Structure 1
């Protein structure tokens, strides 16, 4: 029984999808090394001045100028557009001061509605072959397009998923450092152990082209239902639309299209963001359903294991508490009651379960530290607690997705002053 508990916890911590797509990533890496590194070969189809950058923003005056400056470092200023979706602060003014063409959209429509409105208002599909969707709290690195555009050399590629990494200006609070470090671990694990394998040519099973900083060919956008009703976020749905309508392939490589993003520094904002992301996933799965094909099979397996692992992880702390109380009762209760308590403690072996959970989670942290070339920190041992909290948020989001549809309205987290000073 103890062995069974340990195995179940280990599977819930890592996940079957991680093992499958992680293996695919290894095979892809080996194949690419045999063929040589061709990531930086200039695109034979697109140039930087053919890329439009669209930023949908709501009350982002603290960070919008920084995002605009980062975009202008990649493309001409005339290519940078901002839709201020019903902002009540100086988002429009600061975007214009930074050099963008900004539009004050009223009444607000939510992010997806703002993107759709901005495409039409600025005439982007008619003027540019490529569109970068950029969040106001994101900053593409200087080599973003130099590494991303070559991926469009494959004529079947219609979108390039950007690689997210946490902004280097982490907050000077213990909670902020913990949350941003944990989020970076999540980015590395999902992008190296899931998305890299999913983006293999034979698979084409990328589940999300994140809206924080990604590229689309504009000639497919009229067939993508960007602002489908009832969804809290747009990027899962846009990705599922590409697969459902067979519009083309989604490319991703962890060394290409890298952008920094300002992650939440307080638990309230982190929780709200995680719940919103999870809600968007479940709503999109509900909207599209499952169909024949590798992508849809992958989504189905991931959805099932996410529910199972979330239930298991959410139950870890209560089970450990019950097991601990039972073990204590076996020592202090009368003989008959102590025998019952001892049997409960034996059925729920707290020590092995906790140890296996922490060890497997620590191995994930060690992997990320090796990939990111950073030293492990003692406070990273708190990551399992955040895993449990993520599971609780995921289950709450699933329950919400089965209920009333979302209206897509913005709920912006607290921002730090700016990503950079320049």
Structure 2
């Protein structure tokens, strides 16, 4: 029984339990403030005091970095233009060889074309300077070319900037399910990615973004906002990194530029997740490699951000090792149990191992906490079919663990050029995106 408890704690995560508790206290405090403010309180509790002039969509520049994104860029621009004037939408086509730039122009966006491909980070830095975004706008919203913004993205996200201490608003990631992946494996991979978003954002990130904590480790580059007056102090195009958003977030903390805001019901945006195993592993490898590269680039400091990050890294490595050892341990446990049962005089160490780590305890120690995460996603996203995929999700977690540890080793080998190849996109057939009703 001790084995199942220990394995369950490792699989579910001490970080998830701790930050969920912090998030719960944050929600209670927000509810208390809402009760005090009453129906005419005028603002969502917990978003800080109002500034003299609230920011409006006219104050927001939207910047979309794209590389060969003709299948999706028009819908992304349309989503952006539904929230801000078309003149506020900017696209940087980074070495595209398709119709990305032409389609963006025809949709009314301002376009910068770069040749050759310099990478997303370099493209963002070049576009911010070329368009003069820091001088013309108060806020820049960074979008990936496959992102769809919720109709209330700015309505719910901009008020966080009423607090002058807030310098960035992290977008809430959700999965775009239109079009549906064509294969069963694709649907399972997309469902798993949505489960990861729910678990990370509800159980960890919401607590990390509490005002007194402020230890959010990533402002995702797919759909997040920054005050433009801090961009010159952030090394957007840092050399040797495969992705930019971890580094930008770490820079905010390193230079103590201000607070990062996040709320699960604010600044919601939808992304198209990979639906093939190759594309999925490429994306996870890129994300984890970018994380480890950023950790190695920044110097450890004696502050609460690095304290929280250190506990997360320790747990990430331990859980990854345990998951990779799970299958061999299960095989040995099955063999030991069989030998202890059928051998006339089994060796004492074999019997001890079979009693300490029986196969059933190993399986339950993995499946129970993993099933809890699936149920959380089912309840939050109202997708009961995810329960059918629950037996497969632990196998994908093992793949993630391998990619995480492999990327850790690769991060020691040297930097990356930052150049990118966009994943294969699913074309939207009906000309519109489908969003879960509970998040719109």
Give TM-score scaled by structure 1 length: 0.95
Residue 204 of structure 1: CA displacement?
Answer: 0.8
The C-alpha deviation readout for 1:136-161, integer Å capped at 9, x for no partner, is 01111111001111111101101000
Residue 293 of structure 1: CA displacement?
Answer: 1.4
Give the SS at the match of 1:165.
Answer: strand
Is the CA contact (8 Å cut-off) linking 1:167 and 1:419 kept in structure 2? no
Residue 382 of structure 1: CA displacement?
Answer: 1.5
Give the SS at the match of 1:134.
Answer: strand
Give the SS at the match of 2:77.
Answer: helix
User: Does 1:255 pair with 2:259?
Assistant: no
Residue 402 of structure 1: CA displacement?
Answer: 1.6
RMSD: 1.9
Is the CA contact (8 Å cut-off) linking 1:57 and 1:85 kept in structure 2? yes
What is residue 31 of structure 1 aligned with on the other side?
Answer: 29
Q: Aligned equivalents of 1:73 and 1:84: distance in 2?
A: 21
Query: Map of 1:6-21 to 2, 5 A cutoff?
Result: 6-21=4-19
Residue 124 of structure 1: CA displacement?
Answer: 0.9
Residue 377 of structure 1: CA displacement?
Answer: 2.6
Selected match of 2:154 from 145, 148, 156: 145
What is residue 133 of structure 2 aligned with on the other side?
Answer: 124
User: Does 1:373 pair with 2:378?
Assistant: no
What is residue 438 of structure 2 aligned with on the other side?
Answer: none
Is the CA contact (8 Å cut-off) linking 2:58 and 2:88 kept in structure 1? yes
What is residue 239 of structure 1 aligned with on the other side?
Answer: 249
Q: Aligned equivalents of 1:237 and 1:354: distance in 2?
A: 38
Is the CA contact (8 Å cut-off) linking 1:290 and 1:300 kept in structure 2? no
Give the SS at the match of 2:113.
Answer: strand
What is residue 218 of structure 2 aligned with on the other side?
Answer: 208
What is residue 199 of structure 1 aligned with on the other side?
Answer: 209
Of the structure 1 ranges 96-105 and 196-205, higher mean CA displacement relative to structure 2 is found in: 96-105
The C-alpha deviation readout for 1:84-120, integer Å capped at 9, x for no partner, is 1111211111212222111210122111000000111
Selected match of 1:91 from 93, 97, 100: 100
What is residue 176 of structure 1 aligned with on the other side?
Answer: 186
Is the CA contact (8 Å cut-off) linking 2:378 and 2:387 kept in structure 1? no
Give the SS at the match of 2:390.
Answer: helix
What is residue 295 of structure 1 aligned with on the other side?
Answer: 305
Residue 26 of structure 1: CA displacement?
Answer: 0.3
Q: Aligned equivalents of 2:280 and 2:27: distance in 1?
A: 33
Is the CA contact (8 Å cut-off) linking 2:190 and 2:274 kept in structure 1? yes
Q: Aligned equivalents of 1:329 and 1:266: distance in 2?
A: 41
* CA distance 1:419–1:29, shift in 2 (3 Å): farther
Selected match of 1:384 from 370, 394, 398: 394
Selected match of 1:220 from 230, 242, 265: 230
Selected match of 1:394 from 384, 401, 404: 404
Q: Aligned equivalents of 2:410 and 2:345: distance in 1?
A: 44
Query: Map of 1:56-71 to 2, 5 A cutoff?
Result: 56-71=65-80
Q: Aligned equivalents of 1:406 and 1:420: distance in 2?
A: 38
Of the structure 1 ranges 70-79 and 382-391, higher mean CA displacement relative to structure 2 is found in: 382-391
Q: Aligned equivalents of 1:419 and 1:262: distance in 2?
A: 14
Is the CA contact (8 Å cut-off) linking 1:192 and 1:254 kept in structure 2? yes
Give the SS at the match of 1:145.
Answer: helix
Residue 69 of structure 1: CA displacement?
Answer: 0.7
Count of aligned residue pairs for this structure pair: 419
Give the SS at the match of 1:354.
Answer: helix
Is the CA contact (8 Å cut-off) linking 1:290 and 1:297 kept in structure 2? no
Is the CA contact (8 Å cut-off) linking 2:375 and 2:387 kept in structure 1? no
Q: Aligned equivalents of 2:258 and 2:19: distance in 1?
A: 21
Gaps of 5+ in 2: 35-40, 433-440
The C-alpha deviation readout for 1:365-385, integer Å capped at 9, x for no partner, is 112222223325322222111
Of the structure 1 ranges 110-119 and 31-40, higher mean CA displacement relative to structure 2 is found in: 31-40
The C-alpha deviation readout for 1:166-193, integer Å capped at 9, x for no partner, is 0021313211111111111111111111
Is the CA contact (8 Å cut-off) linking 2:3 and 2:365 kept in structure 1? no
Give the SS at the match of 1:399.
Answer: helix
Residue 344 of structure 1: CA displacement?
Answer: 4.2
Selected match of 1:359 from 354, 368, 372: 368
Q: Aligned equivalents of 1:168 and 1:179: distance in 2?
A: 12
Residue 336 of structure 1: CA displacement?
Answer: 5.7
Q: Aligned equivalents of 1:359 and 1:164: distance in 2?
A: 25
What is residue 337 of structure 2 aligned with on the other side?
Answer: 327
Is the CA contact (8 Å cut-off) linking 1:133 and 1:214 kept in structure 2? yes
Is the CA contact (8 Å cut-off) linking 1:329 and 1:338 kept in structure 2? no
Q: Aligned equivalents of 1:5 and 1:398: distance in 2?
A: 28
Q: Aligned equivalents of 2:124 and 2:260: distance in 1?
A: 20
* CA distance 1:420–1:228, shift in 2 (3 Å): farther
Selected match of 1:412 from 413, 422, 425: 422
What is residue 84 of structure 2 aligned with on the other side?
Answer: 75
